[in-house]
């Protein structure tokens, strides 16, 4: 018996997935464990592997289609094996037997007219006979007799009115009415030029294309939909405030210049200011665990480890891969880990669990010249650090003016967990670590 391929549930929050690309075609041989298609889950692309070997008998879901988890998207089996009867029946209904174009138009008209109403229609025998002779559907006529019964005069009146207006199926007419379209503007393709449902849909599609030429709409689906939902929940759930502090980056720049060659020779990667900030943040979080906390049903959960979520901007949205146990990592290990997750994020190679269990998040907009911003907390974290651009500013050092590279750090915290004083102490300590980076080694 053919085996179903289903839309997997990759993570507790996943409710639907999008088919991005089929890696195999119908009729192709597949091995157990071989990737057969690529899907978009909550926020990451992932490959779906075949649970059994055999022939890809049928692909049900089309590329770009959004389906609930556990939906059947394909069948795998032996060559020539029939797929389940339920699908065969659907296929028969959709394909039907071969008919001429004219016969097909008549059948389409009949299907729409029958589907419009399956209730019993009250009419006199004379009205029924006249309607049958004139090929008029009684469901289109409003009766004027007792209890709404259709009479012969109603049929004759309807026929006279129909002569002066375009013919359409009731379903087509109702769709046009609901969309505010004049049925007279639509060209019919049915029997005797009757307007069908398909004609109305074609007309609507044409109108939509004309609108899209003027205004482009970006569908709120996939990654963008998830981001919108999570940011809304965070913004309206947590009462927040943002603390800002300026940091003199003179010594960080000096440290980076001093170690960049050694780290490149060891790792093959270039060290960035973000790498040093991650190391400093990890040390500060271990000293002030209230900033490294999550609000749970039982109370405030203080984490005894640091998993840094690093916001990575993509053209289609924002992802937050997690670098685990940064409080234990050396600077070289942080450089390697950061480079790895950023590259895999940009190439859609992250696994769903690599975006979970962060305890604190860093969002860096410094490369865009941003001087201050209020980042939104990435729940279940209770705080997020916004990293801004480094700008040369005039400052007073030992009562003398001097130009120094200054960077502003913006810390947004959940006031249900963190008060102003603990947040300020954390920022002060972080500032001290960055202005005296040798302390990172102590």
Residues marked active site are found at 415
Question: How far apart are alpha carbons 437 and 227 in whole angstroms?
Answer: 35
* DSSP one-letter code for 73: E
CA angle 337, 341, 343 (to 5 degrees): 120
Query: Which helix H or strand E contains 38, and what residues bound it?
Result: strand 35-40
Give the dihedral sign, CA 303/442/403/273: negative
In whole angstroms, give the CA distance from residue 155 to residue 114. Answer: 19
Burial 265-283 (b: 16+ CB within 10 A, else e): eebebebbbbbbbbbbbbb
Residue 311 to residue 318: CA distance in whole angstroms: 7
DSSP character string of 113-178: HHHH--SPPPB-HHHHHHHHHTT--GGG----SGGG-B-HHHHHHHHHHHHTS--B-HHHHHHHHH
44: tokens are 């990451």
Give which of 384, 358, 385, 379 is closest to 273, Cα–Cα. 385
Burial 393-421 (b: 16+ CB within 10 A, else e): eeeeeeeeeeebbbbbbbbbbbeebbeee
Tell me: cis bond preceding 380? Omega within 30 of 0 counts.
yes
Q: Quick one: CA torsion of 63, 65, 70, 74, rounded to 10 degrees?
A: -40
DSSP code string of 257-304: HHHHHHHHHHHSS---HHHHHHHHHHHHHHH-GGGGEEEETTEEEE-S
DSSP 347: T
* Secondary structure (H, E, C), 220-252: CCHHHHHHHHHHHHHHHHCCEEEEEEEEECHHH
Report whether 145 contacts 121 (CB < 8 A).
no
In terms of residues, how long is the chain? 442
CB 305 within 8 A of CB 285: no
C-alpha distances in Å from residue 167, one per residue of 69, 104, 141, 162, 171: 43, 17, 13, 7, 12
Report the alpha-carbon distance of residue 252 to residue 195 in Å, rounded.
Answer: 73
């Amino acid at each position: 018996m053919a085996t179903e391929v289903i839309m997997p549930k990759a993570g507790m929050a996943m409710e639907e997935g999008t088919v991005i690309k089929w890696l195999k075609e119908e009729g192709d041989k597949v091995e157990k464990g071989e990737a057969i298609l690529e899907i978009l889950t909550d926020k990451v692309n992932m490959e779906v592997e075949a649970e059994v070997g055999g022939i890809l008998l049928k692909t049900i879901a089309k590329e770009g289609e959004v389906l609930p988890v556990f939906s059947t998207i394909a069948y795998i089996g032996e060559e020539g094996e029939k797929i389940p009867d339920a699908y065969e029946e659907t296929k028969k209904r959709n394909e039907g037997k071969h008919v001429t174009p004219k016969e097909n138009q008549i059948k389409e008209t009949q299907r729409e007219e029958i589907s419009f109403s399956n209730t019993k229609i009250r009419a006199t025998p004379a009205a029924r006979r006249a309607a049958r002779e004139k090929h008029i559907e009684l469901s289109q006529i409003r009766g004027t007799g007792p209890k709404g019964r259709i009479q012969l005069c109603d049929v004759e009146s309807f026929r006279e009115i129909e002569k002066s207006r375009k013919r359409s199926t009731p379903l087509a007419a109702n769709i046009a009415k609901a969309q505010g379209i004049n049925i007279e503007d639509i060209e019919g393709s049915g029997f005797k030029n009757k307007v069908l449902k398909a004609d109305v849909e074609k007309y609507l599609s044409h109108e939509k294309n004309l609108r899209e030429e003027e205004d482009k709409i970006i569908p709120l689906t996939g990654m963008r939909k998830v981001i919108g939902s999570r940011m809304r929940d965070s913004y309206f759930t947590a009462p927040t405030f943002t603390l800002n502090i300026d940091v003199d980056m003179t010594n960080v720049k000096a440290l980076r210049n001093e170690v960049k060659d050694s780290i490149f020779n060891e790792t093959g990667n270039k060290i960035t200011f973000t790498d040093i900030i991650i190391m400093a943040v990890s040390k500060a979080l271990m000293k002030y665990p209230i900033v490294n906390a999550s609000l749970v049903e039982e109370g405030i959960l203080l984490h005894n480890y640091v998993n840094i979520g690093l916001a990575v901007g993509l053209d289609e949205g924002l992802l937050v891969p997690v670098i685990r146990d940064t409080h234990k990592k050396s600077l070289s290990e942080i450089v390697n880990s950061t480079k790895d997750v950023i590259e895999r994020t940009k190439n859609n190679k992250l696994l769903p669990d690599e975006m979970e269990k962060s305890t604190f998040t860093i969002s860096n907009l410094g490369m865009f010249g941003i001087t201050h911003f209020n980042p939104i907390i990435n729940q279940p974290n209770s705080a997020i650090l916004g990293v801004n651009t480094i700008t040369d500013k005039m400052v007073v050092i030992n009562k003398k003016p001097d130009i120094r590279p200054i960077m502003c750090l913006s810390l947004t915290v959940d006031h249900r967990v963190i008060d102003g004083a603990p947040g300020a102490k954390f920022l002060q300590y972080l500032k001290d670590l960055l202005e005296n980076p040798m302390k990172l080694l102590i």
